[in-house]
Structures are given as structure tokens and as C-alpha cells.
A and B are shown apart, each in its own frame.
Chain A
Amino acid sequence: MDQKSPSVIHRACYLTLNVIYTIYEIIASIFRQKLLIFLCHEIDSRPKKITKVPTHLTVLLGNEEPAVKDLANLILWCLSARITFISFYDYKGSLRQCEDKLRQLVEEKKNEEDHVIWHSRPDFVHKNGYKGRKIHVKLLGEEDGRGTIANVTKTLASAANSDLLQFETELLKQFEFPDPDLGVCCGKTFSLYGYPPWQIRVTEFLTLQTHHNITLETFIHLLYRFNKCEQRYGK
């Protein structure tokens, strides 16, 4: 095995590589929007339609600060796309602080007959019998991750019960939503930042450079990419 420490030449090459890559990233970010518009036109002209949409879309904010206006847009677009569950995962917890603002913005912009059901409030009551379209919204934080499994284990241990069904029921009680089928990771760093582990068994993860100023085209493009994913369930 070659164990010698990197020489000056190696270091110089490494630095050059990083500089070139940074320049590439800057250029790519300038042209990305134009390229995407082109791509979406191409999609529109294809006869093939989007045949499946996710039931539960979960947005991982990563290291990004939440942009309330854009998150409100996402909720409204999901309503139009007939996606019934949307959740936002923010491990830093900043989004919880602007939940009221987000709620207000969505209520202002949505059609009157549409229903947005907020799950992260303690005063939340689930009502049935809505006409119109509806969407469930939930904010997730770091405490919903590994910690929840530890808490459920505590509950089971206190009850001296270790039944799989009981375990899953307890977890679902906390998570409330079905397992996400599409996860969108925002920001440059592709990582889960402690997202609830039990629920992501078959989730398809796509990346989004940033959710700031996200356009409808970009959103449609994400749905299109999801549409191409095919599940095999181990077979």
C-alpha cells in the first residue's frame, strides 16, 4: 500500500481541482434556470403525462434557512397536483418559529373551497367531510428522528410489551403521516440531517439546489423525475 504523505504537487493539484470546480458551480448556477425552462418545454411537448404523484411529499430543508413565501407556494402547488400530505423537515428548528406566518400566507392565497389541515399544532382537530381539495401539512424537527424511536422504546419497556405491531402503532401515532414516497433534499449538501429513520425505507430522494425562489417549472420537473422512479421492493 502506498502510504507516503501527499507531496506539494498533489496539494497543488488538489487546490486547482477545487478552484475549477468552484468556477464550474458558479457558471452552472447561472445557467441552471435557463436549462430547466428548456427541459420543461421539452417535457410539455411530450405526449407522456405524469402518471403518478407522491402521496406524501417531504421537504428536507437541510442547512437552508426557511423561505416562507416559497414553502407556501409549494403547499399550494401540491394542492393543485393532488398531493395529500406534505411535511417540512428542519433540523435547526427555525421553521417552527415562522409557522404562523406560513399559515397566514397559505390561507390568504388558497382558493376558498380548498382545505389545508395543519398537524403540528397542539389544538389540531381532525375534521372529516370537507368538500374541495385538501392537504395535510406537518412540520418535522430533529426530535422526530432517532429520538422518537428511543421514546417509543421507553413506552414499550414501561408496558413490558415488545410486539412489532405495537411498536409500529406507537411510531405512527407520532409521525401521523404515511411513509413519504418522495423526499426533496434542499441545498448543496446531500444529507438527511437526522430525518426520522424508520419512515424512509422506500422513499425516493431527489435533490434541489435551493428552495429559495423555487419556480413552478422546477416543481413540475421534480414530479417528472419522481414519475420515472420505479419500485422493485427487493424483487
Chain B
Amino acid sequence: MSWIVSSSLTYFQRFCVNVIKCGPIPRHIAFIMDGNRRYATKTKVEKAEGHIKGFDKLAETLQWCLELGVKEVTVYAFSIENFKRSREEVDTLMKLATEKFRQLLDEKEKIMSEGVCIRIIGNLGLLSPELRKLVAEAELMTKDNNKAFLNVAFSYTSRDEIFNTVQSIVKGVQDEALDVEDIDEDLISGALYTSCSPDPDLIVRTSGEVRFSDFLLWQISNSFISFTKVLWPEFCIWHLLACIFYYQRSYNDLQQKKARVTSERAQKFLHQLQQQKITQLKSYT
């Protein structure tokens, strides 16, 4: 199945989507797509099959988000901790990712015409050179698109992200690009892997787990949380609509915060950081 699929909604479902659209729609949703393996066990298929079903569900969910008017989606595809799984499973997942990113490059026309910008957040240094090259190509190819944004957290943990950011800021001070006085919350927000995205308004975790497992810990500080029991491959439009409806019910109680970096020096530093990132991606291709 490809990255961009046509709408699978029935007439009635589309009607309900339009009903929900009468309320505030989250600008950015983060998903922890959990439950692929439990789904495989439950339906008595191979684990790999569960992961493939999980990817297909992602493509479908992205389409629903587009129809709902959600501009940005971040998904937790692979955690650094997941490298601890059996060799066989890690290999299968890497193979699946390689295949999907290759397919993404093949579908260039479709992706570009939909205007989807794809970013990979994570520690790319831990990936195989082959996968790293594909990922970098995909990101560079779509970097100027701005109709919809998909961030894929791959080889990611939040602590790794925060600590790397802290390190780059400390280095910035050492190189005299920054002053100690420039350091604040907003500077860190601007220097994280997710620097180009606003914080998620809604975070959804499937499969009944009630923790964040090192995903976007900094960014979800003020997000609305939705834990749902359904396994990811069984996630359907009704679950998504329910999550958004709960978000709408709490909308007025949520804190709306926007990061703003005011110091010129800090802005220049963040700009440089962004340039460095692009240079690094280019070096991978």
C-alpha cells in the first residue's frame, strides 16, 4: 500500500467528519501507533504482517487527518529502545522502512502534488547507510512543501533529543554564537528536532497503554491526552473522531503556549542549526 491513499470513508462517515469540523480542529496530532504485534498474535499471523498492517493504517489515518483539516501529524515509528528487540524483528522493521521510503521516492509526483512535507525526527546516526540515504532524500525532496506535514519519529527517544539539543546549545555558548543569558525554554523548543513544528494539540496512544515511552516528552507538555484501548491496526475513523471530540470538549481548559525566541543572536543560532541539519542530510545522500 502506498503513502497516499484515496479516501475510504462512506457517505455517513464523511457526514460525521463534517459535524466534528464544526468544533475546533487540532492543528497537530501525535500518534503512538502501538499494538501491531498484539494484533498479529490475536489474528494468528506473522509479526511482520502486523507491522505491515500498521503501516497501511498510518496511510489511511493520514488521509482522514487531511479530510478533517489536521495539517500536521507526528508518528512514533521506531524508538531507540526498540533496537533491543530480537535481531530478526529489528531486521524486519528496517526492511519494511527501507521499502516504504523507497516507495515514497517512487511516488514523488503524487507526494509533491499533494504538497506533503516529510521530516524524520531521530538519531539518524544509528541507521544503516542505505536507509539513512533514503530518509535524507525523502526529507530534502519534500522540504519546501507546506500543505501537510508528516513527522516520522524513527530511531527516536525524547531524552536523546533533549540531551542532544542541550549539547548543541552548550556548544553554541562555547563557540560564542550564544550567550548564557540567551538560554531559556523557547530557545530549547526552537533547537529540538521538531523545531519547525508547533507543539501537538492532541496526543493519541493506542492499545490501552497509558504511558508516553519517551515520545515527545517536552512537546506534549500542554497537549490533550487520549489513550484508547484499540490496537493500532484496528484503529478506525470513529476512534479518531472520538479523540477529537474529547479534545474539543476540553478545548477551553487547555493552555495555549507559543514559543517565541526574541534575541537576535539566538535567532541567528537557530538558523545556523537548521542549515547544519540540511548540510548533514545532503551529506547522507
Interface residues in chain A, defined as those with a beta carbon under 8 Å from any beta carbon in chain B = 1-2, 6-7, 10-11, 13-14, 17-18, 21, 63, 145-147, 149-150, 152-154, 156-158, 160-162, 164, 167, 185, 187-195, 197-198, 200-206, 229, 231, 233-235
Find A235's partner among B18, B84, B185, B255 (CB 8 Å cutoff). B84
Q: Which 9 A-B pairs have the closest CB atoms?
A: A234-B81, A14-B22, A189-B253, A162-B170, A189-B250, A197-B217, A157-B173, A146-B185, A190-B225
The verdict on B56 contacting chain A, using a C-beta distance below 8 Å, is: no
A interface footprint on B4-15 (CB within 8 Å = 1, 0 otherwise): 000000000011
Q: A63-B253, A162-B167, A235-B85 are in contact. Are A157 and B19 (CB under 8 A)?
A: no
Q: Which residues of B contact A203 (CB under 8 A)?
A: 211-212
Judge whether B45 is part of the interface by a CB distance below 8 angstroms. Answer: no
Contact B84 A202 (CB under 8 A): no
Is A188 in contact with B250, judged by CB distance below 8 angstroms? yes
Interface segment among B123-131, B155-163, B230-238, B273-281: the answer is: B155-163
* Across-interface contacts of B81 in A (CB, < 8 A): 233-235
Hey, which chain A residues are within 8 Å of B67, CB to CB?
1-2
Q: State the Cβ distance, B163 to closest chain A Cβ, in Å.
A: 6
Using Cβ atoms and an 8 Å threshold, which residues of chain B touch A21? 245, 249
Tell me the bound Cα distance from A203 to B171 in angstroms.
31
Q: How many of chain B's residues touch chain A, expressed as a range?
A: 35 or more
Q: Are the CB atoms of B222 and A202 closer together than 8 Å?
A: no
Partner of B169, one of A10, A157, A194: A157
Q: With contacts A154-B180, A167-B166, A191-B222 known, what are 4 further pairs, Cβ within 8 A?
A: A2-B67, A13-B22, A21-B249, A206-B210
Whether, in the assembled complex, B240 has its beta carbon less than 8 Å from a beta carbon of chain A, the answer is no
Given the contacts A14-B22, A146-B185, A229-B210, A201 and B159 also touching, CB distance less than 8 Å: yes
Cβ-neighbour of A202 out of B66, B184, B211, B253 (below 8 A): B211
Q: Is the CB of B224 within 8 A of A189?
A: yes
> What separation, in Å, do the CA atoms of A189 and B248 have in the docked complex?
10
Complex CA–CA separation, A150 to B185 (angstroms)? 6
Q: Which of B19, B224, B255 contacts A13 (CB 8 A)?
A: B19
| Least CB separation from B34: chain A residue | A232
When distances are taken between beta carbons in the complex, the residues of chain A under 8 Å from B170 are 153, 156-157, 160-162
**Bound-complex Cα distance A162 to B192 (A):** 16
A149 to B167, CA, bound (A): 12
Knowing A157-B173, A190-B250, A234-B81, the reply to whether A201 touches B214 (Cβ < 8 A) is yes
A35 to chain B, nearest CB (A): 18
Q: Tell me the smallest distance from the CB of B259 to a CB of chain A, in Å.
A: 10
Given contacts A157-B173, A198-B159, contact A10 B66 (CB under 8 A): no
Q: Which residue of B lies closest to A17 (CB)?
A: B19
Q: How far is the CB of A141 from chain B (nearest CB, A)?
A: 14
Q: Known: A6-B19, A6-B21, A198-B162. Contact between A160 and B14, CB under 8 A?
A: no
Query: Given the complex, which residues of B lie within 8 Å of A195, measured CB to CB?
Result: 221
The answer to whether B249 touches A192 (Cβ under 8 A) is: no
Check if B224 sits within 8 Å of A190, measured CB to CB.
yes
